[in-house]
């Protein structure tokens, strides 16, 4: 049973004929879609099909080789350096390998960017971080270094770190794939909580049950494009694409 979500008409992200190649190797070809405020989009597909590449081009970690990415009314592919530096903090990202800053404490991981950007003062940021860490039960770990945390704890801190920038959309790239099974749940609960609070998200995942329950929309990526785009019911219960059907068979057998 998927959730009923408040999805307004406001378009946060509009992707138009996006292309991406690495050298001669074309990964994405003319991908187009829009993301509305409040949508939670799960991205599924066989590994190596370009899911990561897709969401990494959205915040310019990979430079697109063609097409346009509109964030509200700004085209990221045409914007100046200065405009980009204003927009990127509004697009959060959570990585499969957490990528917490190894040389900073948990608290500094969270407060560093908002303080540098002038979004919060040092004191405000510290208070905010303490409050958030308390909420996710990691207040005790505030002054520890990432190496002293478990994988699940690291990923939850990474999510909080992203939220500290008050983003309009968060991109997740397989946030639970690097975790031991017993830690998957704690991370997914936090993601779910975030989704329920109305955050706009795109989430690459192999957790099919979670995709089905938490998302409002599902993309199936294959052969350099989005082959199927629909509600979880449409995609999981009524797959039209032959490849999608094979893919779902394979994952359900696991």
Partner 1 sequence: MTAESLAAALRRLSAVFILVFCSGCLSGCGGKDTGCDASSLETIHTCRVGVQVGTTSDTGVTELFKSKSAEGMIERFNTSPDAVTALRQNKLDLVVVDEMPAKEFVSQSPELEILDYEFARERYAGIVALQNQELLQKINDALKTAQERGIIDKLKETYIFKSGDYHYIPEQNGSETIVMATNAQFPPYEYYDGNRMRGFEIELAYAVADIMGKKLKIDDIEFDSIINAVSSGKADFSFSGFSETEERKKFINFTLPLIDSGISIVVRKDGEHGSGLSFSEKFHANFIEQERWKYLAGGLGITLIVAFFSTLIGITGGFLLAVVRVVHHRTGRLGLLNFIVRLYINIVRGTPVMIQLLIIYYVIFASVDVSKILVAVAAFGLNSMAYTAEIIRAGINAVDPGQFEAGKSLGLSDRSIYRYIIMPQALKNVLPALANEGISLLKETSISGYIGLIDLTRGGVIIRSLTYEAFMPLMAVALIYLCIIGIMSYGVSVLERRLKKNER
Q: Which residues bind partner 1 (CB under 8 A)?
A: 59-61, 85-86, 88-89, 91-93, 95, 97, 99-104, 112-113, 116-117, 145, 147, 158, 161-162, 165
**Residue 67 contact, options partner 1, ligand ADP, Mg ion, none, Cβ 5-8 Å cut-off depending on partner type:** none
Supply the minimum distance, in Å, between the C-beta of residue 130 and ligand ADP. 35
Supply the minimum distance, in Å, between the C-beta of residue 105 and ligand ADP. 31
C-beta neighbour count of 138 within 10 angstroms: 18
Stretch that binds ligand ADP, among 49-57, 141-149, 208-216, 234-242 (CB under 6 A): 49-57
Output 19 or 88, the one with its CB closest to partner 1: 88
Supply the minimum distance, in Å, between the C-beta of residue 142 and ligand ADP. 33
48 and 85 Cβ atoms separated by less than 8 Å: no
How many residues line the site for ligand ADP (CB under 6 A)? 9
Output 56 or 108, the one with its CB closest to ligand ADP: 56
Binders in 28-57 for Mg ion, by CB under 5 A: 52
Supply the minimum distance, in Å, between the C-beta of residue 60 and partner 1. 8
Binders in 137-176 for Mg ion, by CB under 5 A: none
Supply the minimum distance, in Å, between the C-beta of residue 194 and ligand ADP. 22
Q: Is 49 in the site for ligand ADP (CB under 6 A)?
A: yes
Rounded (5°) CA angle 71-225-176: 75
Residue whose pair of structure tokens reads 């200065």 in the numeric block = 82
- The binding site for ligand ADP (CB under 6 A) comprises 22, 27, 47-53
């Amino acid at each position: 049973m998927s959730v009923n979500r408040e999805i307004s008409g406001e378009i946060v992200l509009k992707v138009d004929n996006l292309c991406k190649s690495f050298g001669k190797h074309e990964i994405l070809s003319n991908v187009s879609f829009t993301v509305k405020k409040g949508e939670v989009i799960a991205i599924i597909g066989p590994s190596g099909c370009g899911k990561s590449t897709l969401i990494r081009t959205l915040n310019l970690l990979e430079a697109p080789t063609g097409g346009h990415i509109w964030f509200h009314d700004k085209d990221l592919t045409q914007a100046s350096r200065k405009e980009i530096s204003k927009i990127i903090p509004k697009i959060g990202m959570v990585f499969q390998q957490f990528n917490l800053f190894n040389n900073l404490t948990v608290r500094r991981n969270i407060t560093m960017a908002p303080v540098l950007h002038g979004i919060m003062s040092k004191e405000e940021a510290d208070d905010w971080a303490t409050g958030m860490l308390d909420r996710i039960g990691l207040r005790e770990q505030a002054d520890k270094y990432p190496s002293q945390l478990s994988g699940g704890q690291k990923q939850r801190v990474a999510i909080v770190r992203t939220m500290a920038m008050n983003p309009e959309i968060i991109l997740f790239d397989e946030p639970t794939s690097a975790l031991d099974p017993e830690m998957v749940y704690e991370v997914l609960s936090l993601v779910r909580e975030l989704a329920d609070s109305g955050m706009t998200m795109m989430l690459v995942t192999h957790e099919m049950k979670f995709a089905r329950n938490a998302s409002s929309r599902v993309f199936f990526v294959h052969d350099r494009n989005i082959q199927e785009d629909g509600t979880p019911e449409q995609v999981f219960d009524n797959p039209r694409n032959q490849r999608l059907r094979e893919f779902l068979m394979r994952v359900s057998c696991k």
